[in-house]
Amino acid sequence: MAHSIGGRIAELRRRRGLTQLELAEAIPLSYSYISLIEAGKRNPRKQVVTLLADQLGCTPEYLVTGRGPAEARALDLDLRFAELALRSGDAASAEERFRSVLEQARAQGDAYDSEALRALWGLSRSASALGHMDTALRASEAVARAKQLPKEISRPIVLLSVCRSYLECGDVNRAIDVGEAALREAEDDRTFRAQELAELQSTVALCYYERGDLTRAQLLLDDVLRLADSTGSLRARGASLWNAALVAEAKGDLKSAELMTEAALAAYGEEERAVATATVRANAAALQMRVGGTPLDVVEQRLRVALARLHDVEAPMMVVVETEANLAQCRLRRGDAEDAVEIARAALSKLGDEAPLEAGRVRAVLAEALLALASDDQAVAHCIGIAETLDGAAVPQRVKSALASLADALYRSGRADEAVMLYRRIVHPWPGYGDDRRATPVRLRVAAESPRDHHAEVDRAETAGGVRGR
């Protein structure tokens, strides 16, 4: 495609079988002037552009910008179909459609940058729904770098997506850097709406929670709750309450965690956000399982209802997988290891290479269930897979409890070396977050037991396994 006004004039002239002299005589203009325009050495006046467009069978806008009305309409229609597929839950079809539009828009030049950005943004969201987090991250970062976004795209939501994508990819330090930079940008940009700011701040708080900075997470969430109360945003209130419940659980304040979860459910339910409400209900059941006190048969029923609802509202695949992993863990605790293995394997089969953290968590549940069935070799194979998948990655809070539970099971079954391997991953300091081991939280909740110091578990298991040093 020609990417300049002179190039477009030359291309259309040749398509119509005209020489420069014939085009000049038809207008009329001098032959040399047409030659200079096509060579990019002259910019035609508005009247001349109109005359050239008439002779070449196009619009003046096309000559100036390269945007043809038919091409623009076709791309816009394709984008609308892709958005429809994404909203209806067909993320795979949406991803394919967005990728096709992106290729077409880029092939047609800079004039279609708006369509290309819309396609990139759609590609990011559909890839995220499918668990293709590397693809989602690259696409959302490309959109965030754009100097100007189409009216259909909200910059705060894009920055929020970049932050979440880094979190899902396991780079929590980078997620925090991106989130904090976005918050600073929001302070200077009054176009950020209060609800968008609250969601962004709540997500940054979640990143701090995953890294173990519970104090910073709590301070951010307190601000979000104040902002949500002042603006009346139920969506912001629901997000902040749910994240606050996670922080309360990590601190051992289980009663507050349950109360905040119920309040989050009420906020989401009142706003009638189907996917968010179904997700929080699934997470609430998982929290009850971790906290203890609720009969496991009740927890299982709630997880199954939540899972069915997630399918009904066509929730993102990653949310479904997380709920299936929680259901597998519940079945394991109820003594049905075979069913737990089947559920966990089905969940794992949905994950690709771009979701290492969630894959590590599902593998941990699967390996523990295999140990319960005395399938030690298969369990150890999954342990090795976990170590390879998480090699060099900082392990966030949501994965640690599953690894700790598996490590305990390995130790009890006499697999001290493998237990040490997992304990080390649990207490390994965050890359770029200081060299002191105390920088990483060492007290974790496992099932309904009291928090325990897993550095001590490493020492105990290393001694049993004949391993020395760290």
DSSP string, 193-214: -HHHHHHHHHHHHHHHHHHT-H
Max Cα-Cα span within the chain: 95
Q: What's the pLDDT tens digit per position in 230-287?
A: 766 777 777 778 788 878 877 777 778 878 888 887 877 655 567 777 888 888 888 8
The residue written with tokens 């929670």 in the block is: 209
Residue identified by tokens 């005589």 is 25
| CATH classification at residue 44 | 1.10.260.40
User: In sequence order, which residues have a C-beta less than 8 Å from that of residue 11 and are 6 or more positions away?
Assistant: 2
Structurally, the chain folds into a number of domains equal to: 2
- 61 with 160, same domain: the answer is no
pLDDT per residue over 77-125, tens digit each?
A: 999 999 999 888 788 899 999 999 999 888 877 778 888 999 999 999 9
Q: How confident is the model at residue 190 (pLDDT cuts 50, 70, 90)?
A: low
Does the residue 200 lie in any domain?
Answer: yes
Are residues 158 and 268 both part of a single domain?
A: yes
* Residue 207 near residue 247, CB atoms below 8 Å: no
Residue 416, domain member (yes or no): no
Mean pLDDT of the chain: 80
Please tell me the predicted confidence (pLDDT) of residue 455: 40
Within a domain: 393: no
Whether the predicted pLDDT of 142 surpasses 90 = yes
The residue type of 385 is G
Is pLDDT of 462 > 60?
Answer: no
In the numeric block, the tokens 């105990």 are attached to 460
Q: Which residues contact 361 (CB under 8 A, 6 or more apart)?
A: 322, 325, 398, 399, 402, 403
Model-level pTM?
0.67
442-455 pLDDT tens trace = 222 222 233 334 44
Question: Among residues 99, 81, 100, 77, which one has the least CA distance to residue 90?
Answer: 81
296 contacts 334 by C-beta, under 8 angstroms? yes
Task: Kindly state whether residue 403 falls inside one of the protein's structural domains.
Answer: no
Specify the pLDDT at position 369.
92
Query: In terms of domains, do 170 and 267 share one?
Result: yes
pLDDT for residue 21 is more than 60: yes
In a domain, 111, yes or no: no
Residues making up the chain, counted from first to last: 470
Q: Answer with the one of 272, 290, 315 that is the final residue of a domain.
A: 272
Instruction: Please identify, among 254, 272, 290, the residue that sits at the C-terminal boundary of a domain.
Output: 272
- The H or E element spanning position 444 is strand 443-444
Most confident among 68-77, 128-137, 231-240, 459-468 (mean pLDDT): 128-137
Task: Choose the most confident range, by mean pLDDT, from 160-174, 210-224, 331-345, 439-453.
Answer: 331-345
- Using CA atoms, how far apart are residues 461 and 456, in angstroms rounded to an integer? 9
Q: How does DSSP assign 5-23, residue by residue? A: HHHHHHHHHHHTT--HHHH
CA distances from 447 to 57, 151, 291, 341 (A): 73, 47, 7, 18
* In a domain? residue 304: no
| Residue entry with tokens 């590590």 | 360
170 in helix, strand or coil? coil
Could you tell me the CATH number of the domain that includes residue 258? 1.25.40.10
The stretch 377-403 carries a mean pLDDT of: 76
Q: Looking at the domain assignment, is residue 178 inside a domain?
A: yes
Residue 110 or residue 183, greater confidence: 183
Residue 428 has a pLDDT of 57
Asked if the structure places residue 145 within a domain, the reply is no
Q: Where does a domain end: 272, 293, 321?
A: 272
Domain containing 193 equals 154-272
